[in-house]
Each structure stands twice: as structure tokens, then as C-alpha cells.
Amino acid sequence: MLRAFSHTNGRCAFHHAKCWHHRKSVLAIRREDVNAWERRAPLAPKHVKELTQMGYKVLVQPSNRRAIHEKDYIKAGGIIQEDISEASLIVGVKRPPEDKLIPKKNYAFFSHTIKAQEANMPLLDEILRQEIRLFDYEKMVDHKGMRVVAFGKWAGVAGMINILHGLGLRFLALGHHTPFMHIGMAHNYRNSSQAVQAVRDAGYEISLGLMPKSVGPLTFVFTGTGNVSKGAQEMFNALPCEFVEPHELKEVSRSGAIFFFFLTSDLRKVYGTVLSRHHHLVRKRDGLYDPVDYDKHPELYTSRFSTDIAPYTTCLINGIYWEQHTPRLLSRQDAQKLLVPVRSAAGATEGCPELPHKLLAICDISADTGGSIEFMTECTTIDSPFCMYDADQHIIHDSVEGSGILMCSIDNLPAQLPIEATEYFGDMLFPYIEEMLLSEGSEPLESQNYSSIVRDAVIASNGSLTAKYEYIQKLRESREYAQSLKMGNKKRVLLLGSGYVSGPVLEYLTRDSNVDITVASVMKEQLEQLMKKYSNVTSVHIDVIKHEEKLSSLVKKHDLVISLLPYSAHPLVAKKCIDNKVNLVTASYLTPAMKELQESVEAAGITVISEMGLDPGLDHMLAMECIDKAKEVGATVVSYTSFCGGLPAPEHSDNPLRYKFSWSPQGVLLNTVQSATYLKNGEIINIPAGGALLDSVTPMDFFPGLNLEGFPNRDSTKYAEPYGIQTAHTLLRGTLRYKGYSKTMGGFVKLGLINPDPYPLLSSTMPPLTWKELMCKLVGIKLPAEYHVLKEAVFSKLEKDKSQLEAVEWLGLLGDEPVPAADSIVGALAKHMEMKLPFGTGERDMIVMRNEIGLRHPSGHLEDKFIDLVVYGDNKGYSAMAKTVGYPTAIAAKMVLDGEIDAKGMVIPLTKNVYGPILERVRAEGIVYSTRSVIKQ
């Protein structure tokens, strides 16, 4: 039998036997879904085979991502099955999503809750609410406190491979080709044996003296003596290496650095040292180390690593576990001192440069943010494994170039070698599986005869934290109290939405260290990316539309809300702001639904700012700046025309629409079938909804090289009063596109593709349709239909317009590709176009705006004012649309926080005290406009 029985008394064995007699226990291996790279499992097929041979039923959730194939689990006796609700024990590697938890079950996984980690507290709350018994592998320890279930070795192996690869890239960026260039990332190898061979090949080149002489001898420092450190050392040993004592590191490093032309043998190998506590920890009062005293009072000790070891270290491989009150290895101040350039070597030349400083790289395998390496504030990922820490600027940038220390701090390293890691971990976990399996999560914990190793790993059971882990709640409370004190003088902003506009908003607001921001979004991956980039930002993964109570709770905790959600969500958000007396800023139109809240907003005494983006937003501000200046000299406005468009840069407009999507595709499509109203030469022109707008297209020749066209947008006449230009005989606001866009869109309208009405056949609950099948229905021909028959029918529907037919074919709308599930046909087309017409890597967008304002001066002469705004997106930065929407929104939000905008009620940027500072400040962000005049007699 399993080890669980050999370590229990007779009473326990009898109890288990009795349980087995009455039921057949079921184990489930859940699918890993927290990370795209997570290909491990907690148990391998050999472990499943042993369990099934003992009579247990083992369910395995299907997963094409899992590195070990399903057929191997089936061969071992496992049952591939989605539904795992019959299992009494559900095991995984990483945490499950909260909505996938099953009440009153036993779960075992790495929960990352024992330090009251803020990101995982919602998970713990849900575990308590659903009365789940949680076994945490991290707390399965023996009588010496050593972990008995861990991936540690494979974290060390993968981490060492990665940092050798990273060193190759870093050396190359510094001007040196090295043998490390031939080592790849750990996941590029089928198994560790292949990786070892690659490291040996690099080591062979080192042994031949092929390392550049000007880099001097390389020194690697391994912290800790556990499995993590041993795994890294195991891979390091594949290099020609010599281990030295920590106190010898100084001499090894210096002798090589000074005399490397004479001691060439030093460059035919690399040096390593293993660092234990006694090598660098000393008591503050007397400089001594006492292991017993240190365990009791770690806060009385300090580390000499930064002065005694780090100055002679090329690469630090950190594998030590860090806790509060224990000394750090390196602080930010330490890093600043360590990055001081080394003295020039006599043989260094332009082609053979010296290294900027000794400490080049840190592989923090512990991945403990803000821990033993204080400035490691965010983990890197397998996708983006390296970053550079610039200590002088205290910034982290994703690169291997520039100033600073190369950092690698991936928190799921064993996932890079998933098969070996699974087998290794399973061997360690297997002896404890049966005692966890032979109990029900709904049974009282006190009635279970667990071994001490298993019992001490139970974090929660029966709806409560176990006695050993009640401290977690106290940690949470103390942290929340500390945060409340810290937040006392800080401004708190809630940002709803994490899309493309959120980047400039966060970048601008986080410049002020007294502003703390919470980002709430349904897009988990976008949140994760934002959290890596901004330190004083926290995230909440939530659909605020579906969880109104949580939205209200979030709003209540902040001083200001910025909503980047679709405009239809703003009335709901505004109502929560009214209820909690919190100010609100949005970039969207002040819709009728928002206007209905005017009295409630004023009664609440809050500020609600709308139309603070590009269009609407900057167009208002540029218009009002000109109009107000004209009125100051007694002029009247006789005409106002404004056209604006977000476009792909000309070199990226090579598709039938001459367009790509940087914002809601559905919104773009629906704009083409809206009604429009405008004033022209004193006559009001009404364009009905349904597509007539596309017949009102006019060529725009103010930038002839761009070949633009424009069409009216919404009701332009409503701006006569807010702008104060009732004297104007022409008032038109419109949308810009490249010539040909409107004609192509007109084809879609003819085919019935721009139809927002519900279309049940496209529901996710219905059998999927292909575009060919949908088009047959739209043009009225029976299925199945030959391609040429459908094409001819579509051509007829398009009134024999060849360019419109080419666009339909180019988008694949006559083919067998499935139509995305959606509520409407236009919704499905929007999803399809989002996939077909995105901005690719390195492609940039462009914003074009032209305001033309006709003035009549008191003298009688006429003047035309032309205001042009052209902004390009950055290849590796923000899009033009993101900048021109995000920065005005952020600036307005900051003005509200600082009291510069204090008007109560509904506000749009039409007054000088609002638009003046914003126009001045957007110029500093690279949003620059030009103005010219033409005087007419």
C-alpha cells in the first residue's frame, strides 16, 4: 500500500479500510488553465497506473496543452472526462479559476496564499465560501521544515539554461559574441538531456579559449543549498567550471580582470561558488553569525552580500526563500553602487570593449517580488523572459540592451521542461495521495487521520482557515490597514477598462507618486500586462456590467472613476458614481441617457466629464479655442466644418477597405448606417439611417496625397448652441476615410451584412454556420450551392460592382470559414473583420483632423481658419488613437483630482479654463496641431 498507511496507526488503517468498503474513491487531475505555458500535471501516467491497479478511479480532464499525451493516461487506466464533480480529491499544479471550483471537495495545488498574497485572496475567499478543503503543496514539509513535494530541482535546471541563453544575448548587446549564443531557452529542448548537450557544446568552445578576452573570467554565485540551487548547479557542471569558496571569489575575479592577457587559462573555464547563510549574514551589533539566534531573530541580522560577494559576481542565481524581517541580498541602493563602471583595462579597444560593470545578470529563480532582490518588483515570463533593471533611473525595460542588470525572474520555470518535471513532482506527491483521497471535503477536519505532513498542509477546511493559518487573515487586515494609512494623502483612481487607450492614461497618471490606480477589467491577459508595467497600479479581474454590487463597492473606495468602457455602459457607471458621490471622466459622447442624469449629478455635488477624447474631445477644444479668440476681436462665425478620422498609415492601408481596426469594429460598421443631420448654406440636410449616409460621401482634398473622403457624422446642428455659433450658415462634422472605403462598405449594406437586428442562427447555442451558408441565406439561394452560383448571386445583389465583389471575396465571405457566434449579423462581421484587419507588428496608425472655421470681422472682411492635427502611432509604443484619446482623458482626470476643474454637474470641454490647459499639456505629449488663415476681401 501507499506510504500514507505505513505512517499511520492501526485505527487509521481500519478507518480507511472501512471507507473503501463502502465506496470507490475517485481522484481527478484537473486541466491547467491559468497560463498558456503551463503544460505540467501533478501526476504522471505511471502514478495513475498504480492508483488504478489499487482500485481507485482516476479522471483526467482533457487538455491539448498538457505535455503528456492523453493516450498515455488512458493506457495507464485513467478516464478522460470533462466532468470531474464525482471526484473526492481534485489535484492540479496551479490555482484553478474561481468559477471552476466545486463546493465541498478536497483540492490540492499551489495556492500562493500563505503570505496573504493580495492577488490570490479572492481565490481564498471563494474556497472558504464553498467550504473546500485546500491542501497546499508548499506547506507539505517534514519534521525539519524541508519541503517534501516540490518542483525545485527543475526550476533550477530551467533557470540556469535560461540565464546562460540570456547572457549570450546580453554579451552580444555589449559587443561580444560568446559560446552562450548557441544555448536556447529551456523549452526549446525536448528534455534536459538535450539541454545538457547544448551547454556542453558551449563549454567545449569555452575550453578552447573562445571566450573574448576583454570580458575577463566569469563568476557565478548560487545562493542556497536546496533543490533549486542543486538543479542549477547540475546544469552549470556541464560547463568547464571550478567551484571556489566565497572568500576566494574576489581574488579570482580581480586577478583575471587585471592580468587576463597573461592568465589565459582562467578564460578556459568559468567559476562558481555556493553561498550559505554563514557566508554573508552577520549580527548587526557584533558582526557574528549564530544560526540558532538567526532563526529566532532574523531582524537583528544584515547581509554583507552587496559588499563581500556581489562586486565580484558576473551572474547571480538566486534560489533562497525570503520572508519578511529577514535581510535582503540586494537593495536598489546596492544596485546603484554595483553598476559603477569598472576601471578601463589596458587591452580594451572599440572592437573589443570592456564590460560596463562586473554584475551583468541575475536569475531570480525564487521569483519572490520585492523579496531578497528588492528591485525585482515584477516577474518576467516565458514569452518575455528578460528585462533590464536600470538602478540610476529605477526603471525596468523589456530588452537585453541599454544600461543596467539583465534580470530573469520567471515564476513557472518547471513548465519549460514539463514531462520530467511532472514525473519528478509526481514521485514526491504520490506517497501522500491516498490519505488525501480517502476523505470527503465535507467531513470535519478533526475526524480525518492525516499524517502530520498532510494535516499541516491544510490551509482551509469546512469554511474556515485552519488554526495554523489563521494568521493569513491577520496579515490581510494589517496590510489593508497599512494601505489605508498610506492612502491617506493619496488620490485614488478607478480605471474601468484595460484596452489600448488605458496605456497612455496609466502612463500619464502614474507619473504622480501620490496617485494610486486600480484597473478593473474583464480582460485578464491585458490586466497582467499592465501590472507588469506599472508599479503603483493594482488590478481587479471583473465584469463590472454583470456585477453591479462589486462595481459599486469599487467606486466607493476611490476619489475618481475613469470609464473607458463602451458608451452604453456609462449610465450604469454614472449612477454608481452618483450613489457614492465620486467624480467621473469618460471620453465618449454625452448621450441622451447620460443627460437624463444631469439633475442627479448636480444633487450629488459631483463632476461628470464627457467627450474628453479625440472626436469628441480635441475637436471641441480646437474649435472653441478658435471661436473664443474670434469673439474677443468682435468676429462672428459664419461656417464651421470639422472632419476627423483614425486611419492606418498610408503604407499599411493595402486592403479593400483601406482601413484597419484600432477600436470597436462594430462601432465602426454601425457608424456607416446611422442617420445624420447637418446645416449647409442655411439649409438643414437630413440623411436617414440604413446606409444613405454612404451616398453623401465627398472627396477631401486638403491633404491631396492622402486621397481622403468624408461623410457626415451624427447630428452636427446640436453644436450650434454649445459652441455659441448660431450665426453659422454651415455646420458640419464628419468622418474621414481613404477613398474607396465608403464604396466597399456600401456593398456590405446591400448584402444585409450591416444589420444589428438579433439573428438567432448565429447564437453560440446553435450549430455553426459558414460564411458561404450565411451568404446563401442573405441572397436567397438554396443550399448547397456551387461557389460560382453564389458568387454570381452576390454580384447581382451588388448591382454588378466588381470592386465590391472583390472586397467580399478578399474577406473570405464566400468561403467555408465559420461565422463567429454573435447576437447579430453585424456583430459576427465585426468579429470577423477584427481577425482579418488588425494592425500587425510594427504597423502604425494615423489620426487626421481638419477644422475649417469661417469668420466675418467687424470690418466686413472674411477670414477662413484652418486647424490641422496629424498624429502618427509609434511602432513600439502607443497608437495614434490611443494617444489622442488617452492623454486628454488622463489630463482632464488629473485636473479634477487637483481641483483645477471644480465645476459640478455635466461638463464637456467647451470653456477656456478646461480646454486651455489640456491643449497646452497635450503638446508636451507630442500631440501638436497647426493653424493658418486665409483673408478674403
Q: Answer for the pair 867, 640: CB distance below 8 angstroms, yes or no.
A: no
Phi/psi of residue 488, nearest 5 degrees: -50, -45
Cis ω on the peptide bond leading into residue 784 (within 30° of 0)? yes
Residue 665 CB partners (closer than 8 Å, separation 6+): 830, 831, 833, 834, 837
* Residue 546 burial (C-beta neighbours within 10 Å; 0-12, 13-18, 19+): exposed
3-state secondary structure 62-84: CCCCCCCCHHHHHHCCCEECCCC
In the numeric block, which cell numbers belong to residue 64? 491539448
Instruction: From 370, 254, 369, 360, select the one nearest 317 (Cα to Cα).
Output: 360
Q: How open is the CA angle 921-922-923, to the nearest 5 degrees? A: 90
Is 509:529 a contact under the CB 8 Å cutoff? no
Distance in angstroms (rounded) separating the CA atoms of residues 47 and 78? 10
Phi, psi of 32 (to 5 degrees): -85, 120
Q: What are phi and psi of 318, to 5 degrees?
A: -100, 120
**For residue 318, what are the CA distances in angstroms to 157, 322, 425, 562?**
13, 11, 21, 40
Residue 659's nearest CA partner among 833, 877, 829, 873 is 833
DSSP summary character for residue 408: E
* Rounded Cα–Cα distance for residues 890 and 894 (Å): 6
Residues 6+ apart with CB under 8 A from 389: 335, 375, 376, 395, 396, 404, 405, 407
The secondary element (H helix, E strand) that includes residue 867 is: strand 862-872
Q: How far is CA 98 from the centre of its chain?
A: 19
**DSSP conformation letters of 352-370:** SPPPS-S--EEEETT--TT
The three three-digit cell numbers of residue 217, written as one number: 573570467
Determine if the peptide bond prior to 616 is cis (ω within 30°): yes
Query: What φ, ψ does residue 18 adopt, rounded to 5°?
Result: -65, -45
Tell me how far apart the alpha carbons of residues 545 and 366 are, in angstroms, rounded to a whole number: 38
Cα 226 to Cα 153, 236, 276, 365, 412, distances in angstroms: 8, 15, 10, 12, 18
Contact (CB, 8 A) for 298 and 324 = no
- E-strand spans in 391-490? 395-397, 405-408, 458-461, 464-465
CA distance 387 to 399: 5
- Residue 565 burial (C-beta neighbours within 10 Å; 0-12, 13-18, 19+): buried
Annotated active-site residue 72? The verdict is: no
> Maximum distance among all alpha carbons in the chain?
110
Burial class (CB in 10 A: 0-12, 13-18, 19+), 440: middle
Which H or E run contains 13? helix 10-22
Strands 929-936 and 862-872: antiparallel
Note the residue count of the chain: 937
Q: Please, which residues bridge with residue 648 across strands? A: 845
- Of the residues 615, 654, 701, 757, which is catalytic? 615
Cell numbers for 228, please give them: 533549486
The set of catalytic residues is: 615
